[in-house]
């Protein structure tokens, strides 16, 4: 009788230990999945945010030009210069007629490469960070004169 009681106790404790081990393994898998999802979201935000920012800037401007190594967005008398300098995408806003100096800009985003082209009514922008390249193509709408 005593031997049966010991076997029942040992069986109950082994089931409890098995349950605790499975719960611990399940919890560790959930933590790893959450961390991976969080890292992926942060990485996507780092690459997607500059393109979204540039897209909104292009939509809000009246005219687009290229001067030297600067993408110039004109809104009324204000000219916004966007350019790559020392590993950062920078922006400087000046009143029309002032000369642009590369030291005037504010740092916006860390950037490995930033290129832009303006052909007819298409503005193509390429942004590269950590080997990931995102491209933005924007059609310029000219108002009827």
pLDDT tens, residue by residue, 111-137: 899 998 988 888 899 988 888 888 888
Structural domain boundaries in the chain: 2-139
CB 129 within 8 Å of CB 111: yes
Distances (CA, A) of 86 to 20, 64, 114, 120: 54, 24, 12, 30
Distance, in Å, from the CA atom of 9 to the CA atom of 55, rounded to the nearest integer, reads 68
Question: Which residues of the chain are under the pLDDT cut of 70?
Answer: 1, 142-145
| Structure confidence by residue, pLDDT tens digits, 72-81 | 999 889 999 9
Report pTM. 0.70
Q: Sheet of 113-119: strands edge to edge?
A: 113-119, 122-129, 132-139
- pLDDT in the model for residue 1: 59
83-86-88 Cα angle (round to 5): 55
Please name which of 139, 140, 58, 71 lies closest in space to residue 100, comparing C-alpha atoms: 71
Q: Which residues of 1-23 are buried (b: 16+ CB within 10 A; e: fewer)?
A: eeeeeeeeeeeeeeeeeeeeeee
Among left, alpha and beta (phi > 0; psi -120 to 50; other), residue 96 is: beta
């Amino acid at each position: 009788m005593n031997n049966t009681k010991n076997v029942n106790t040992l069986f109950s404790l082994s089931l409890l230990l098995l349950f605790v081990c499975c719960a611990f393994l399940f919890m560790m898998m959930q933590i790893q999945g959450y961390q991976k999802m969080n890292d992926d979201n942060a990485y996507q935000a780092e690459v997607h945010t500059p393109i979204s920012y540039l897209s909104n800037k292009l939509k809000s401007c009246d005219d687009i030009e290229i001067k030297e190594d600067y993408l110039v967005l004109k809104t009324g008398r204000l000219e916004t210069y966007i350019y790559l300098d020392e590993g950062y995408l920078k922006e400087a806003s000046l009143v029309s007629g002032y000369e642009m100096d590369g030291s005037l800009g504010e740092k916006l985003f860390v950037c490995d490469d930033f290129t832009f082209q303006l052909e007819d009514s298409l503005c193509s922008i390429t942004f590269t960070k950590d080997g990931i390249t995102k491209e933005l193509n924007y059609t310029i709408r000219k108002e009827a004169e």
